[in-house]
Amino acid sequence: AQSVTQLDSQVPVFEEAPVELRCNYSSSVSVYLFWYVQYPNQGLQLLLKYLSGSTLVKGINGFEAEFNKSQTSFHLRKPSVHISDTAEYFCAVKANTGFQKLVFGTGTRLLVSP
């Protein structure tokens, strides 16, 4: 089975500052990794995903994440945040063979202030 840990429930940051949202996972098999964003009153939207290949993955809205197998991490970063990045961010993992359910972390609320 897989599990995901997002230790930070809330991350406050000022506009134009860099941000890192942490994600660690646990799995006995190889996995795919995802970050989703949830804006108020909207569905989850895929930000980026790691399937294979380069460990640095670039996504939408200037976000990127790096897969670190030895540390079982997939932290999300953005060099300069905007007010509009205020949202809830979910890290998710699934095993990469056959059908395996998507397992989500508890989410991190990013609060960007002026």
Partner 1 sequence: GAGVSQSPRYKVTKRGQDVALRCDPISGHVSLYWYRQALGQGPEFLTYFNYEAQQDKSGLPNDRFSAERPEGSISTLTIQRTEQRDSAMYRCASSSLEGERNNEQFFGPGTRLTVL
For partner 1, the binding residues (CB under 8 A) are 4, 9, 32, 36, 41-46, 49, 51, 90, 92, 98-99, 101-107
State the virtual CA torsion across 44, 89, 23, 69 in degrees, nearest 10: 50
Decide whether 19 or 47 has the Cβ nearer to partner 1.
47
CB of 79 to partner 1, least distance (A): 25
Decide whether 4 or 110 has the Cβ nearer to partner 1.
4
In sequence order, the 6+-apart residues with CB closer than 8 A to the CB of 42 are none
* Phi, psi torsion values for 31, nearest 5 degrees: -135, 165
CB of 32 to partner 1, least distance (A): 6
